[in-house]
Amino acid sequence: MIIFKTKKEINNFLDKHRKAEQIIGFVPTMGALHAGHVSLIETCKGNSDLTVCSIFVNPTQFNDKNDFDNYPQTIEKDIHLLYEKGCDVLFLPSASELYPENELLESYNLGFLETILEGKYRPGHFQGVCQVVNRLLKIIKPHRLFMGQKDYQQCMVIRKLLDLINSTTNLIICPTVREESGLAKSSRNVRLANDDLQSATIIHQSLMFAKDNILKRPISEIENKMKADLLQNGFESIDYIAFCNSVSLNPILENSTKENVVVLIAATIKNVRLIDNLILN
Ligand code: AMP
Protein backbone atom coordinates (compact mmCIF):
# COMPACT_ATOMS: atom_id res chain seq x y z
CA MET A 1 0.00 0.00 0.00
CA ILE A 2 1.30 3.43 -0.93
CA ILE A 3 0.53 6.39 1.32
CA PHE A 4 0.25 9.89 -0.16
CA LYS A 5 -0.14 13.11 1.78
CA THR A 6 -0.26 15.67 -1.04
CA LYS A 7 -2.67 16.23 -3.92
CA LYS A 8 0.17 16.58 -6.38
CA GLU A 9 1.80 13.25 -5.55
CA ILE A 10 -1.40 11.19 -5.52
CA ASN A 11 -2.55 12.85 -8.73
CA ASN A 12 0.70 11.98 -10.53
CA PHE A 13 0.41 8.41 -9.36
CA LEU A 14 -3.28 7.99 -10.26
CA ASP A 15 -2.78 9.62 -13.68
CA LYS A 16 -0.62 6.67 -14.73
CA HIS A 17 -3.38 4.25 -13.72
CA ARG A 18 -6.04 6.33 -15.48
CA LYS A 19 -3.97 6.31 -18.66
CA ALA A 20 -3.72 2.52 -18.39
CA GLU A 21 -7.57 2.57 -18.32
CA GLN A 22 -7.76 1.08 -14.85
CA ILE A 23 -10.99 1.41 -12.88
CA ILE A 24 -10.29 3.52 -9.79
CA GLY A 25 -12.50 2.82 -6.76
CA PHE A 26 -12.59 5.23 -3.84
CA VAL A 27 -13.62 4.84 -0.17
CA PRO A 28 -13.58 8.13 1.77
CA THR A 29 -13.44 7.77 5.58
CA MET A 30 -12.69 9.68 8.75
CA GLY A 31 -10.60 6.83 10.19
CA ALA A 32 -11.13 4.89 13.44
CA LEU A 33 -11.75 2.07 11.00
CA HIS A 34 -13.97 -0.91 11.83
CA ALA A 35 -15.61 -3.83 10.00
CA GLY A 36 -18.06 -1.43 8.28
CA HIS A 37 -15.20 0.40 6.59
CA VAL A 38 -13.48 -2.92 5.80
CA SER A 39 -16.61 -4.11 3.96
CA LEU A 40 -16.43 -0.98 1.77
CA ILE A 41 -12.75 -1.68 1.02
CA GLU A 42 -13.58 -5.29 0.15
CA THR A 43 -16.47 -4.30 -2.12
CA CYS A 44 -14.25 -1.68 -3.73
CA LYS A 45 -11.51 -4.24 -4.34
CA GLY A 46 -14.03 -6.59 -5.94
CA ASN A 47 -15.28 -3.84 -8.28
CA SER A 48 -12.15 -1.84 -9.19
CA ASP A 49 -8.60 -2.29 -10.47
CA LEU A 50 -7.20 0.11 -7.89
CA THR A 51 -8.62 0.73 -4.40
CA VAL A 52 -8.02 4.16 -2.92
CA CYS A 53 -9.02 4.99 0.67
CA SER A 54 -8.78 8.39 2.31
CA ILE A 55 -8.65 9.20 6.01
CA PHE A 56 -9.45 12.77 6.94
CA VAL A 57 -11.43 14.01 9.93
CA ASN A 58 -13.23 16.77 8.10
CA PRO A 59 -13.68 19.87 10.32
CA THR A 60 -16.31 21.51 8.09
CA GLN A 61 -18.88 18.77 8.68
CA PHE A 62 -18.85 19.01 12.47
CA ASN A 63 -21.42 21.44 13.80
CA ASP A 64 -20.33 20.54 17.35
CA LYS A 65 -16.69 21.42 18.16
CA ASN A 66 -16.68 19.03 21.08
CA ASP A 67 -17.65 16.14 18.78
CA PHE A 68 -14.80 17.10 16.41
CA ASP A 69 -12.25 17.38 19.26
CA ASN A 70 -13.30 14.00 20.65
CA TYR A 71 -13.53 12.16 17.32
CA PRO A 72 -11.54 8.91 17.83
CA GLN A 73 -8.16 8.80 16.05
CA THR A 74 -6.38 5.46 15.61
CA ILE A 75 -4.19 6.17 12.60
CA GLU A 76 -1.45 3.54 13.20
CA LYS A 77 -4.07 0.82 13.64
CA ASP A 78 -5.99 2.08 10.57
CA ILE A 79 -2.90 1.97 8.34
CA HIS A 80 -2.14 -1.56 9.50
CA LEU A 81 -5.74 -2.70 8.86
CA LEU A 82 -5.87 -1.17 5.36
CA TYR A 83 -2.52 -2.77 4.50
CA GLU A 84 -3.76 -6.14 5.79
CA LYS A 85 -6.99 -5.87 3.75
CA GLY A 86 -5.08 -5.16 0.53
CA CYS A 87 -5.97 -1.49 0.03
CA ASP A 88 -3.70 -0.16 -2.75
CA VAL A 89 -3.50 3.56 -1.95
CA LEU A 90 -4.13 5.60 1.20
CA PHE A 91 -4.60 9.36 0.93
CA LEU A 92 -3.82 11.11 4.22
CA PRO A 93 -4.08 14.85 3.54
CA SER A 94 -3.57 17.57 6.14
CA ALA A 95 -6.30 20.19 6.69
CA SER A 96 -4.26 22.82 4.83
CA GLU A 97 -3.80 20.45 1.88
CA LEU A 98 -7.58 20.02 1.47
CA TYR A 99 -8.56 23.51 2.60
CA PRO A 100 -5.88 25.93 1.36
CA GLU A 101 -6.48 29.46 2.66
CA ASN A 102 -6.92 30.92 -0.82
CA GLU A 103 -9.72 28.47 -1.77
CA LEU A 104 -13.20 29.67 -0.84
CA LEU A 105 -15.81 27.24 0.45
CA GLU A 106 -18.56 26.47 -2.07
CA SER A 107 -22.26 26.49 -1.43
CA TYR A 108 -24.30 23.52 -2.65
CA ASN A 109 -27.97 23.71 -3.50
CA LEU A 110 -29.12 20.58 -1.69
CA GLY A 111 -32.67 21.88 -1.26
CA PHE A 112 -35.13 19.88 0.84
CA LEU A 113 -32.51 17.17 1.53
CA GLU A 114 -30.54 19.32 3.95
CA THR A 115 -33.56 20.70 5.79
CA ILE A 116 -34.64 17.34 7.22
CA LEU A 117 -33.33 14.69 9.62
CA GLU A 118 -29.53 15.05 10.03
CA GLY A 119 -29.69 18.34 8.11
CA LYS A 120 -32.16 19.73 10.62
CA TYR A 121 -30.32 18.55 13.74
CA ARG A 122 -26.79 19.22 12.44
CA PRO A 123 -27.01 22.54 10.59
CA GLY A 124 -24.30 22.90 7.96
CA HIS A 125 -23.29 19.24 8.27
CA PHE A 126 -24.13 18.25 4.69
CA GLN A 127 -22.56 21.40 3.24
CA GLY A 128 -19.36 20.27 5.01
CA VAL A 129 -19.72 16.72 3.71
CA CYS A 130 -20.13 18.09 0.16
CA GLN A 131 -17.13 20.43 0.58
CA VAL A 132 -14.83 17.56 1.45
CA VAL A 133 -16.26 14.93 -0.91
CA ASN A 134 -16.17 17.33 -3.86
CA ARG A 135 -12.54 18.25 -3.11
CA LEU A 136 -11.60 14.56 -2.76
CA LEU A 137 -13.42 13.68 -6.00
CA LYS A 138 -11.51 16.40 -7.86
CA ILE A 139 -8.23 14.91 -6.62
CA ILE A 140 -8.94 11.17 -6.92
CA LYS A 141 -11.32 11.34 -9.94
CA PRO A 142 -12.64 7.84 -9.15
CA HIS A 143 -14.80 5.83 -11.52
CA ARG A 144 -16.63 4.37 -8.53
CA LEU A 145 -17.36 5.77 -5.09
CA PHE A 146 -18.26 3.38 -2.25
CA MET A 147 -20.34 4.59 0.69
CA GLY A 148 -22.28 2.90 3.50
CA GLN A 149 -26.06 2.68 3.81
CA LYS A 150 -25.46 3.28 7.54
CA ASP A 151 -25.38 6.99 6.62
CA TYR A 152 -28.47 6.79 4.44
CA GLN A 153 -29.19 10.50 4.07
CA GLN A 154 -25.50 11.13 3.35
CA CYS A 155 -25.75 8.69 0.42
CA MET A 156 -28.76 10.63 -0.93
CA VAL A 157 -26.86 13.92 -0.50
CA ILE A 158 -23.82 12.57 -2.35
CA ARG A 159 -26.07 11.28 -5.13
CA LYS A 160 -27.42 14.84 -5.42
CA LEU A 161 -23.89 16.31 -5.30
CA LEU A 162 -22.75 14.04 -8.15
CA ASP A 163 -25.73 15.30 -10.12
CA LEU A 164 -25.05 18.98 -9.26
CA ILE A 165 -21.42 18.76 -10.38
CA ASN A 166 -22.25 16.63 -13.47
CA SER A 167 -19.93 13.92 -12.24
CA THR A 168 -19.48 10.63 -14.07
CA THR A 169 -18.47 8.88 -10.84
CA ASN A 170 -20.75 5.96 -10.02
CA LEU A 171 -22.02 5.85 -6.40
CA ILE A 172 -22.23 2.34 -4.94
CA ILE A 173 -24.14 2.06 -1.66
CA CYS A 174 -22.97 -0.84 0.51
CA PRO A 175 -25.06 -2.58 3.21
CA THR A 176 -24.70 -1.67 6.89
CA VAL A 177 -22.36 -3.96 8.83
CA ARG A 178 -23.62 -4.80 12.31
CA GLU A 179 -22.39 -6.37 15.54
CA GLU A 180 -23.88 -9.78 16.30
CA SER A 181 -26.25 -7.91 18.62
CA GLY A 182 -27.61 -5.95 15.65
CA LEU A 183 -25.96 -2.67 16.68
CA ALA A 184 -24.59 -0.90 13.60
CA LYS A 185 -20.78 -0.66 13.67
CA SER A 186 -19.74 2.93 14.23
CA SER A 187 -16.54 4.75 15.14
CA ARG A 188 -18.55 6.39 17.94
CA ASN A 189 -19.35 3.03 19.61
CA VAL A 190 -15.92 3.05 21.31
CA ARG A 191 -17.17 5.89 23.50
CA LEU A 192 -19.77 3.58 25.08
CA ALA A 193 -19.28 1.18 28.00
CA ASN A 194 -20.30 -2.47 27.52
CA ASP A 195 -23.63 -2.01 29.32
CA ASP A 196 -24.54 0.93 27.09
CA LEU A 197 -23.52 -0.97 23.95
CA GLN A 198 -25.94 -3.66 25.08
CA SER A 199 -28.72 -1.08 25.71
CA ALA A 200 -28.05 0.54 22.33
CA THR A 201 -29.09 -2.66 20.54
CA ILE A 202 -32.69 -1.45 21.10
CA ILE A 203 -32.17 0.75 18.02
CA HIS A 204 -31.89 -2.26 15.76
CA GLN A 205 -34.68 -4.10 17.58
CA SER A 206 -36.93 -1.05 17.04
CA LEU A 207 -36.07 -0.95 13.34
CA MET A 208 -36.94 -4.64 13.07
CA PHE A 209 -40.19 -3.99 14.93
CA ALA A 210 -41.03 -1.35 12.32
CA LYS A 211 -40.23 -3.79 9.50
CA ASP A 212 -42.42 -6.49 11.02
CA ASN A 213 -45.35 -4.13 11.64
CA ILE A 214 -45.37 -1.62 8.77
CA LEU A 215 -48.21 -3.42 6.99
CA LYS A 216 -50.08 -4.34 10.17
CA ARG A 217 -50.32 -1.17 12.28
CA PRO A 218 -50.57 2.60 11.79
CA ILE A 219 -47.19 4.36 11.57
CA SER A 220 -48.03 6.58 14.56
CA GLU A 221 -48.53 3.51 16.74
CA ILE A 222 -45.27 1.92 15.58
CA GLU A 223 -43.41 5.17 16.13
CA ASN A 224 -44.79 5.60 19.66
CA LYS A 225 -43.75 2.08 20.61
CA MET A 226 -40.24 2.63 19.16
CA LYS A 227 -39.89 5.91 21.10
CA ALA A 228 -41.03 4.33 24.35
CA ASP A 229 -38.65 1.38 23.89
CA LEU A 230 -35.64 3.64 23.23
CA LEU A 231 -36.38 5.83 26.25
CA GLN A 232 -36.94 2.81 28.50
CA ASN A 233 -33.61 1.32 27.43
CA GLY A 234 -31.26 4.11 28.46
CA PHE A 235 -31.56 6.61 25.58
CA GLU A 236 -31.76 10.11 27.04
CA SER A 237 -33.08 11.80 23.90
CA ILE A 238 -34.39 11.02 20.43
CA ASP A 239 -33.83 13.52 17.63
CA TYR A 240 -36.05 11.68 15.18
CA ILE A 241 -37.72 8.45 14.22
CA ALA A 242 -38.77 9.08 10.63
CA PHE A 243 -40.63 6.99 8.05
CA CYS A 244 -39.62 8.29 4.63
CA ASN A 245 -39.82 7.44 0.97
CA SER A 246 -36.55 5.58 0.36
CA VAL A 247 -35.69 7.60 -2.76
CA SER A 248 -36.94 11.14 -2.08
CA LEU A 249 -36.83 11.01 1.75
CA ASN A 250 -40.24 12.69 1.75
CA PRO A 251 -42.14 11.74 4.92
CA ILE A 252 -44.62 8.87 4.67
CA LEU A 253 -47.71 10.06 6.51
CA GLU A 254 -49.62 6.82 6.80
CA ASN A 255 -49.13 3.21 5.83
CA SER A 256 -48.72 3.11 2.11
CA THR A 257 -48.04 -0.25 0.57
CA LYS A 258 -47.13 1.41 -2.73
CA GLU A 259 -44.10 3.34 -1.50
CA ASN A 260 -40.69 2.00 -0.61
CA VAL A 261 -40.14 3.04 2.98
CA VAL A 262 -36.93 3.65 4.92
CA VAL A 263 -37.11 4.26 8.65
CA LEU A 264 -34.34 6.38 10.12
CA ILE A 265 -33.40 6.94 13.76
CA ALA A 266 -31.07 9.38 15.54
CA ALA A 267 -30.90 9.06 19.32
CA THR A 268 -28.45 9.79 22.11
CA ILE A 269 -27.25 7.44 24.83
CA LYS A 270 -24.71 8.57 27.47
CA ASN A 271 -23.96 11.64 25.37
CA VAL A 272 -23.17 9.54 22.29
CA ARG A 273 -25.44 10.26 19.33
CA LEU A 274 -26.12 7.17 17.20
CA ILE A 275 -27.87 6.92 13.84
CA ASP A 276 -29.24 3.90 12.03
CA ASN A 277 -31.84 3.01 9.40
CA LEU A 278 -33.59 0.11 7.71
CA ILE A 279 -35.38 -0.23 4.38
CA LEU A 280 -38.74 -1.77 5.20
CA ASN A 281 -39.95 -3.09 1.86
P1 AMP B 1 -16.98 7.59 8.42
O2 AMP B 1 -15.56 7.21 8.66
O3 AMP B 1 -17.86 7.42 9.62
O4 AMP B 1 -17.14 8.93 7.74
O5 AMP B 1 -17.54 6.54 7.37
C6 AMP B 1 -16.90 6.32 6.14
C7 AMP B 1 -17.78 5.44 5.30
O8 AMP B 1 -18.02 4.20 5.98
C9 AMP B 1 -19.16 6.07 5.04
O10 AMP B 1 -19.53 5.83 3.69
C11 AMP B 1 -20.05 5.32 6.00
O12 AMP B 1 -21.40 5.25 5.59
C13 AMP B 1 -19.41 3.94 5.99
N14 AMP B 1 -19.78 3.19 7.19
C15 AMP B 1 -19.70 3.60 8.49
N16 AMP B 1 -20.20 2.66 9.31
C17 AMP B 1 -20.62 1.64 8.51
C18 AMP B 1 -21.23 0.36 8.76
N19 AMP B 1 -21.52 -0.04 9.99
N20 AMP B 1 -21.51 -0.42 7.70
C21 AMP B 1 -21.23 -0.02 6.43
N22 AMP B 1 -20.64 1.16 6.12
C23 AMP B 1 -20.35 1.97 7.16
**Phi and psi at residue 4, to the nearest 5°:** -120, 145
Write the pLDDT tens digit of every residue in 199-217: 999 999 999 999 999 989 9
Give the number of the atom of ligand 1 that is nearest the alpha carbon of residue 39: 21
Q: Inform me whether the pLDDT recorded for 142 exceeds 70.
A: yes
Q: Inform me whether the pLDDT recorded for 110 exceeds 80.
A: yes
Write the pLDDT tens digit of every residue in 4-28: 999 999 999 999 999 999 999 999 9
Residue 125 CB–ligand 1 contact under 6 Å = no
DSSP 31: S
In angstroms, the CA 73 to CA 78 distance is 9
pLDDT at 255: 60
Q: What is the mean pLDDT of the chain?
A: 96
Please identify every residue annotated as catalytic: 37
Residue 185 CB–ligand 1 contact under 6 Å = yes
Distance 174 CA to ligand 1 centre (A): 9
Kindly report the protein residue whose alpha carbon is nearest to atom 10 of ligand 1. Answer: 147
Residue 184 CB–ligand 1 contact under 6 Å = yes
Write the pLDDT tens digit of every residue in 147-172: 999 999 999 999 999 999 999 999 99
Kindly report the protein residue whose alpha carbon is nearest to atom 17 of ligand 1. Answer: 36
pLDDT at 20: 98
Per mean pLDDT, which range of 5-19, 65-79, 168-182, 251-265 is the poorest?
251-265
List b or e across 165-186, with b for residues whose CB sees 16 or more CB atoms inside 10 angstroms. eebebeebbbebbbbeeebbbb
Write the pLDDT tens digit of every residue in 71-96: 999 999 999 999 999 999 999 999 99
